[in-house]
Amino acid sequence: MEAGKIRNSRTLYIFSNIFLIKILDRTIERMYYKLHKECTFENKVKVRLI
């Protein structure tokens, strides 16, 4: 009984980790995309100013 419980908690832990990693991945991707957009926008403005 205990062994089964431990195994279940372990799989749950692994799945929650995978879920967290996916969420982190998406947020990082979004942040990177936003930063990239802002950078390109700044560059365009700089080019116009020059």
Please tell me the predicted confidence (pLDDT) of residue 1: 57
Residue bearing tokens 């062994």: 3
pLDDT of residue 38: 78
Task: List average pLDDT for each run of 10 residues in the chain, which is 50 residues long.
Answer: 75 89 91 81 71
Q: How far is CA 33 from CA 24, 26, 28, 30, 39, in A?
A: 14, 10, 8, 5, 10
Tokens of 48: 């116009």
Give the position of tokens 């195994």: 7
pLDDT at 22: 93
Task: Output the pLDDT for position 39.
Answer: 74
pLDDT at 43: 73
